[in-house]
Structure 1
Amino acid sequence: MRNISINELDHTPRSVVAIGTDYADGYLLQRHSHRRGQLLYGVTGVMQVSTLEGNWVVPPQRAVWLPALIEHQVLMLGVSTRSLYIEPDAVGALGRDCRVISVSPLMRQLLIEAVQMPLEYDESGRDGTLINLLLHELARATQLPLHIPLPEDQRLQPLCVAFVQQPDVHQSAGDWAAQAHLSLRTFSRLFRQQTGLSFVQWRQRACVVQALARLAGGETITRIALDFGYESPAAFSSMFRRVLGQPPSTYLQAAI
């Protein structure tokens, strides 16, 4: 099915419903949730996803898993999507956490094919086998470090939100500890407890994720590096490679 809301199809007596949707560049899906879990895959473009737990950027040819009933907002930047809406009892190992995942060539073709299937496909035939294989591929997909976790602690959360809005690598753990009226030791322990990352790891992750969104919008590596406070594009690219294993000049196109 193409360009139709899941709200019109949620009653379908199948554990998985596949829908393809084309969005205008810059279209904002306002905060909402689904009864089913959603695998949201971008054939083209970049998606920026936000929940109360944090922010994710989804490059082309990757996907984001959104558990059932999780409120989320998505900014579509030149995106054509293929989505699977999965009944909670069919989710298996995907769990309750949002995540950006890799999409294998096999999964990509299965997603494209699933959208062409009849809505009430034959569960015991070829189409049912295709859906089962899709769920197996989904369960084994690799999680990607494209999540900026936000702490619940109200001493830390405003600092993180402000950094996401305007990254600056010159900000240090000592600076943040002082602003939060905490010792550096207490701040570092609390920050890791709240985010699962050290301050430096979180700062690098936030810079990489925000840079991906800007790169997708056509900004240059040089402009982004200088805006984030790096001394040179080479220094920024080196950090980016450490986090994602590829330089920013190739990462967005790597899976196409």
Structure 2
Amino acid sequence: MVNGNLERWLHPNIDDEQHQSKNLNLIQRLNIAIDVASALNYLHTFCEKPIVHCDLKPSNVLLDDVMNAHVGDFVLVSFISKLTSSCSQNSTNSSGIRGTIGYVAPDYGMGGEASTSGDVYSYGILLLEIFTGKRPTDEMFNESLDLHQFAKMALPERVMEIIDQSLVSVEVESLNESNNHIIAKNRLEMCLISTIRVGVACSMISTRDRMEIGDAMVEMQVSGIYILELESVIGIIEAYMVKGTSYRSNY
């Protein structure tokens, strides 16, 4: 893909000249999150047999020339029989489930079968990483604190404190130039709180507590509505996007 993978944009290497001076803005991150949720929803719901990706992570999210996100690397994919999915919570008996540390669902580590719920967990972690800028394997995390808990404890009052500072600094600076900056900041915060809530809901330890990917997709689209309202309040679109980028609303 022309713009490489999401990993290179979230965590550029020192020698990566193409991405070192670039940051994903709010709308780009939101669109990427919606694209990935839409892809998973299609794999889980609209294929002849539900498909479980089993290894969703930033390096497997590819970005094209207009920053549309595509889910790639189906090496570990598992197929689920629709005849049994209703009674097995969309799981398959495939053995030797593998994934990537930090993104793989904890139920897999306990001998759980491949499931659409496992992909939802990985999506939740990916979503939190996109907006906090922190890998689930960051050195700040340990047995008593992981990315899920880190985000959950910040809801709702401290969400702005955990958001990727390279994102917040640009957005807030733009807002301060607006006469309606108080209203606009409120819309921005509502968008980010809503987004982090989705990430937390998708990455719950218990499979029963996790959000369905279709619901997550809809909730992320709702988060985008706050951005549309924000653009209306400010009266300018340029403050929230790079040239050629806009929020892709399905409403």
TM-score, structure 2 length as denominator?
0.26
TM-score, structure 1 length as denominator?
0.25
Determine which structure has the larger helix proportion and give its number. Answer: 2
Determine which structure has the larger strand proportion and give its number. Answer: 1
Higher RCO (CA-CA < 8 Å; seq separation 6+): 2
